[in-house]
Each structure stands twice: as C-alpha cells, then as structure tokens.
Structure 1
C-alpha cells in the first residue's frame, strides 16, 4: 500500500472514530448502574463489559472519564487495529468475552470507565459504567513507646507514655486506630500524613500521650495492617532507687556487725602461757610480802 493510500485510510478511520465518539457521548446517558471493581496496586485487573452474547458484536470501546472528558483506552472494530495510545502497552482486549485486562495497575488508573458495545447493524451502543478502585496495603505499623514518671496524683501510677505509630506505602489515605487504651486518658499531640509524588501512596504517622491508670497492652492499626502488641504503664512494687538504698543499708549493717564481733573476739582471746605467767607473778609477790613480815 502506498503512503498516499495509507494516509487516506488513516484519515477516513480517524473520521469514523470521531463520529463514533459523538454517538458514544449521546448514548452515555443510557448506562445502567455502575459496576465496581477493585485492583491491588501493581497487579492486574479485568474489565468485563456486560453482554448477553445473544447478538454478534461489531465494535467494543472502553474509555475513561478524565476531567469530564472521555479518553479512549482500548477496544476493537471488526478486524481493524485501534489507534495507538499509552494504555495499549498495559491493556489487552479479549473479543470472545468482551473484556479488557489492565496490567501493572497504578493509582492514576483509578476512576470511572465506560464500556460501549455495538452489535452488528445497530447504531446505538449498549453502555455500561465501571468504577475502578485501587488499593495498596500499608506496611506493618511501627509502634514506639516513651514512658516517664510525673508528679504523683496525676494518675494512678504516676506515669505517662508518648506512643508513636507509623506505616508507609498504603492507599487510599487511612487513619490510625489504637486498641487497648482508654480514650479519656489519650491526647493526640502529633498527626502527619503525606502522599508520594510518583506512586501516590501514603505515609501515616501519629503520636499520642497516654496517662497511665494501670498496666495495659496496646497496639495500633492502619488500614488492614496491625502492629505488634506492647505493654506499657508497668507498675513496680518498689522503685529502683529504694531497692538500691535498702541494699546499701543492709551491706553497711553487716559490715558493722562483723567489725564489732571481731573486735570483741580478739580482745578476749588468751593463750595458756599467758595464764601460767600471771599465776607465777602472783605467787612471787605473795612470798615477798611474807618475808617482809
């Protein structure tokens, strides 16, 4: 086929496609209730256009609504090739069951799609709406405690804990849920979330202060991801400083008792030689006194 004939064929086909688009816009109000489908970020999803398969299908167009305008995604018209666009790299149409597979789904693929089915010899298409919802699981949340003692009388244990919970890579945006805590003793001091520029996935972070009333097990959840469980507000029968002071006093008392016992024992101990010498000295003095008399 010469270049001139190719250009003529492309022009005629483009004109036919434009006319078809106008018909689609006119028929878009005849669609039934929208079909909802879900896809996991980075995975594949299949768009199935409703049909009773009782009549032969001549054309199938799947288009996405972007800024209130329809954008052609993929489809078929008898055995002709469709105009190329960036979606054809990730999409594949099945003419037998009137479906389209989309691979490597991204957050930007989320939204409303329209499916147009043209039966042979029929001008007005059958229109159906398909709403694609994209989800991505958050990473396992990280929970970090920081507990300190405060003035007695503020709570039952005299202790408060700052608890931080964070997770990344999820979609759509979600909130943090805490389990095991008394809401009346909880105060949110920091709440932050941000969407990644490219992937559009979210990073969520929250820090709360919890005034302890008793020992408790706590965990946090973001979306469907749950953190490990930690124990906070642990009570001690004796503070560490008190235990150290008692130990020091006991050691000092034992040393003092040992010194006193050793001193008494050493002062009272005598040998037999010392005792006989004392007796001899006493007898000699007695005899000297008798002679002088």
Structure 2
C-alpha cells in the first residue's frame, strides 16, 4: 500500500472514531423523544432546554432543523465565545442563561418546525428536540341563508347555506351543527392561504332540503357562528291579513251608511199640515247622506290605492 493511500485510510479512520465518540458522549437526548410546544400567531413562546446535571453549563445552542439535515443557529451562548445571531432572530429572541431557555417573540407561521437544544456540560453535548406548532384563531364565521318556497323551481322547499371564516391557522374545515347530513349536499368548498401571513380563508356553500324548522350554526377551527333558523313554516301572509281588514272596514262602513240613511228618512207623515216640515227634513237628510257618500267614496278610493301599493311591494 502506498504512503498516500495509508494517509487517506488513517484520516478516514480518525474521522469515524471522532463521530462515534461524539455520538457516545451526546447522551440520550438525541433520540426520538420530541417535546411539543404550541405558540399563538403574533405572540411569544419559550423554548426550555432540559439538563440532567445540576452543575453549571458551558454553553447552549438552539438550532432550527430544516429538511431533516440542515441546521440554522438561532441563538444561545458559550462561555468565552461571541456567537453570531442571524438578523431575523437577533431582535426577537432572548436567551435566559440561568433557566437554559430562549424566548421567541412575534411568532409567525414560518417559525413552525423542529428545533434542537444542545447543552454543553463538561465538554459533552446533551441534545433534545422541540417541535413548535403555530396556531391562529379564525374569525367568527359568517353564516347566510337563501331559502326558496315550494314550487320555485323545485319539488320542495330548500335552503342554500354559506359559511366563511378568515385569518386562521392551520388549515381547517367547516363543521355544521343541527343539520341532517342525509339532506345536505355540498356545492362549493374552497380553502386559500394568504401569501404573506400564510393564514387560511375557508368557504363552504351547501344546499339543505327542508323537512322541519331547524336551528343551525357553523364552526371553523375553534370559532362558532351565531345561530340562525331555517325551513320555517309559512305564516299567514301579511298582505292577506291587510286585505281582510280592508274588506271588513268596507262592510262596516256600508252597514253604517244604510243605518244612517234609515235614520235620516224618519217616519212617513199622512196629514197635509205636516207636508212642508217633512219635505224640509227629507231634503236635509238627503244632503247629509250625499256628503257622507262622497266622503265614503274618497275613503274607498284611498283604500284601493293603499292596497294596490301593498300588493306590489
């Protein structure tokens, strides 16, 4: 074997031994155990790195794991060294040396992922993993209804219902409460993420075939809409009620006119001496009756105009 090949073999063997020693001294923290923590979008979260020793540590590295291989240094410390922190983390991360923790502020969706804590004690590295999950509450869902009547293009009454919510994370779905799923058909379902904030907008529209009055609501994530009532039974139309009232008023006025006419005529007189007085009384009664009829005609005309305008609303 040539001298050059021997050198390469020796260097390779030394590298393998070094990696084995580092793995052996890194402790059990680099196993499969992962601590899960949750942060709210725009708020703060604290990464706490566990240590099995009570002695003071030499250093702490918190790293971001990308693509299961690449690691970005987020923040930390090492005694006697100055560590360079990336600009995107410099102003929103703070390390607590005593508690072996790091606070990260103004959490965004892009911060979600796997992190690694490396604690250095007596030239040994204790490694633990932390999985950060980000959540954002959806807005209160907007729920709308558009119900048709029996015979309006279909055999029975149905309602088109829509539910939408914005600004949430992670992606969620619409959940309906109070509906019979066998009578429901989804006609539109769309979810879209904002390019900048990565938060989601959820929309869904369904058609529900009515069988009885129902109180319903919809939910997206942990947000719930207000309750609405669909498939109500048809109440007696207001227009019909008004028309009946108008007819009753007309009948009452007609009865009133007949009664007044009989009262104004008075009893028939048979003697000649009362002829002049009777004629005067009859003429006076006819004049008042005529005025009453004119007033009644005006009133009926106004009622007709009112009814026509009411039916054309």
- Structure 1 Cα separation of the partners of residues 32 and 206 of structure 2: 47
Shift of 1:160: 2.0
Alpha-carbon contact 1:32-1:127 (below 8 Å) kept: no
If the length of structure 1 is used for normalisation, what is the TM-score?
A: 0.75
- Structure 2 Cα separation of the partners of residues 264 and 208 of structure 1: 67
SS of match in other structure, 2:171: coil
1:172 counterpart (170, 173, 185): 170
Counterpart residue number, 2:57: 57
Structure 1 position 82 matched with structure 2 position 83: yes
CA deviations on 1:53-81 (whole Å, 9 max, x unpaired) are 33432121111112331111111111422
- Structure 2 Cα separation of the partners of residues 51 and 147 of structure 1: 63
SS of match in other structure, 1:114: strand
Shift of 1:95: 1.4
SS of match in other structure, 1:70: strand
- Structure 1 Cα separation of the partners of residues 259 and 81 of structure 2: 112
Q: Give matches, 1:1-293, under 5 Å.
A: 30-68=30-68, 69-85=70-86, 86-122=88-124, 125-151=125-151, 158-262=156-260, 269-270=266-267, 274-277=269-272
SS of match in other structure, 1:57: coil
- Structure 2 Cα separation of the partners of residues 148 and 254 of structure 1: 39
- Structure 2 Cα separation of the partners of residues 182 and 221 of structure 1: 16
Alpha-carbon contact 2:117-2:130 (below 8 Å) kept: yes
- Structure 2 Cα separation of the partners of residues 75 and 279 of structure 1: 126
- Structure 2 Cα separation of the partners of residues 218 and 52 of structure 1: 54
CA deviations on 1:107-143 (whole Å, 9 max, x unpaired) are 0000011111121233xx2211100000011111111
Alpha-carbon contact 1:186-1:210 (below 8 Å) kept: yes
Alpha-carbon contact 2:211-2:231 (below 8 Å) kept: yes
Shift of 1:96: 1.3
The list of structure 1 runs, each at least 4 consecutive aligned residues, that deviate by more than 6 angstroms after superposition, is 26-29
- Structure 2 Cα separation of the partners of residues 32 and 188 of structure 1: 42
Shift of 1:248: 4.5
Shift of 1:148: 2.1
- Structure 2 Cα separation of the partners of residues 117 and 244 of structure 1: 84
RMSD: 3.1
Shift of 1:29: 9.2
If the length of structure 2 is used for normalisation, what is the TM-score?
A: 0.71
Alpha-carbon contact 1:218-1:229 (below 8 Å) kept: yes
SS of match in other structure, 2:182: helix
Shift of 1:269: 2.9
Alpha-carbon contact 1:118-1:126 (below 8 Å) kept: yes
Q: How many residues align?
A: 253
What runs of 5+ residues in structure 1 fail to find an aligned partner?
A: 1-18, 281-293
User: 1:89/1:279 Cα in 2 relative to 1: closer, same or farther (>3 Å)?
Assistant: closer
CA deviations on 1:259-286 (whole Å, 9 max, x unpaired) are 55555555x5346xx5322899xxxxxx
